[in-house]
Amino acid sequence: MTKGELRQFYYLNREIINDTEELVGLKIRSRGEANSRWEREQEELIAKREAELVKKVKKGKKMRDEIGRYINSIEDSFVRQIFRYRFMKCMSWEKVAYMVGGCNSADSVRKIAERFLKKQNKKV
């Protein structure tokens, strides 16, 4: 697994979250309007956004399975936690540091992840 693949998965998850929030907002706003032309346009836009979101979710599920297997294969529990919080739960490095506890900073957990990936990719 490469840093780029993990980064891509992280940002895909963030994109799915943002797109879902936007779609919910569109649906809420479309309920209050009575203009039939506008309603049709909104329905078309909502249908288009839903289709796009479904594609992203399917891609995300496939990537999640692959990355989940990779993370579960990490022997070091501490490193495994860092990867799970960052990439599976989509947390910021600051939140990851808080969740793993100790005297870890955002930079320290990020560096641990980077060193682990670098070491793993040298083995391959």
pLDDT tier for residue 1 given thresholds of 50, 70 and 90: confident
Residue 87 in contact with residue 67, Cβ under 8 Å?
Answer: yes
pLDDT at residue 124 greater than cutoff 60: no
Average pLDDT, integer, range 10-20: 94
Q: Which two tokens stand for residue 85?
A: 């919080």
Average pLDDT, integer, range 60-83: 96
CA quadruple 22, 94, 67, 80: dihedral, nearest 10 = -150
pTM of the model as a whole: 0.79
